[in-house]
Amino acid sequence: MDYELLTSVMRRAALEAGDAIMQVYAAADFDVRAKSDDSPVTAADLAADAVISAALRAAFPDVALVTEEQAASHMVQATTFFIVDPLDGTKEFVQRRGDFTVNIAYVVDGMPMRGIVYAPARDRLFYTDATGQSVEETAPFAKDAVGNLRAILVSEPDNAALMVVASKSHRDQATDDYIAKYRVRDMTSAGSSLKFCLVATGEADLYPRLGRTMEWDTAAGHAVLAGAGGLVVRFDDHQPLTYGKPGFDNPFFIAAAPGVVLESA
């Protein structure tokens, strides 16, 4: 893989998808319909999916593509593939809360090697560069020129005073019970894959997810966190979370800075 080209293509595709999303977001009203699994989908999801799929297929025609919005792609069986959530956090989008993201990841042998997370309403852009180091690019974003970059790195956590981030839309008692096992300084909430990015930048130390997710929800954020020195492990046995599983369903998981002493399930 030409990682310089990959970074360029994924970055531009994410920015163009963000433009498509924000056009719908700016409208006075938009339709929301339910998919077969009862999750919401909007014209923004579909427009962003079309932009990203076209860009990846044009640049990398031989790499398999899995995307949330194309059911046929869910039958892909490959060890190397792209996995895309064109609009993660549709509930945040519908409620106009801003915490929605564009997510593109490149998976090799079960691990997300490269990824990009773009939050167009928040003007935050995180991705792995050609070397695999995670960076945050500062707005404004030009499609043909990379702006100011800063390498991002996970925190060196104080296990007596952890900063925890949890889901805005999917918080439950089981999550609260697990968080209660830690000594927590403060908590914040965020939508979509931004939670991974807050751990990647050191704005949080720990993100536990005790709820259903799909691989396209997590792969890009996982890649960004890994490129910043973080880890994502299964909740039950603390083994690495892997990709390309049957059906693309994830188990419960924990994302953290490696200095966090993880509690058992």
Largest interatomic CA distance in the chain: 50
Q: Report whether 42 contacts 90 (CB < 8 A).
A: yes
Is residue 62 part of an annotated ligand binding site? no
Find the DSSP H helices in the chain.
Answer: 3-25, 43-59, 90-94, 173-179, 194-200, 215-227
Is residue 89 part of an annotated ligand binding site? yes
Is residue 98 part of an annotated ligand binding site? no
How many residues does the structure list for the chain? 265
How far apart (Å, rounded) are the C-alpha atoms in residues 52 and 84?
8
49: CB partners within 8 A, 6+ apart = 17, 67, 68, 69, 70, 84, 86, 87
Is residue 87 part of an annotated ligand binding site? yes
Q: List, in sequence order, every residue forming a beta bridge with 207; answer none if it has no partner.
A: 255
Q: Report whether 230 contacts 189 (CB < 8 A).
A: no
How far apart (Å, rounded) are the C-alpha atoms in residues 260 and 205?
7
CB atoms under 10 Å from CB of 97, counted, come to: 16
Is residue 88 part of an annotated ligand binding site? yes
For the chain, the straight-line distance linking the first and the last C-alpha, in angstroms and rounded, comes to 38
Q: Binding site membership: which residues? A: 68, 85, 87-90, 217
Q: Binding site membership for substrate: which residues? A: 68, 87-90, 217
Q: Binding site membership for Mg(2+): which residues? A: 68, 85, 87-88, 217
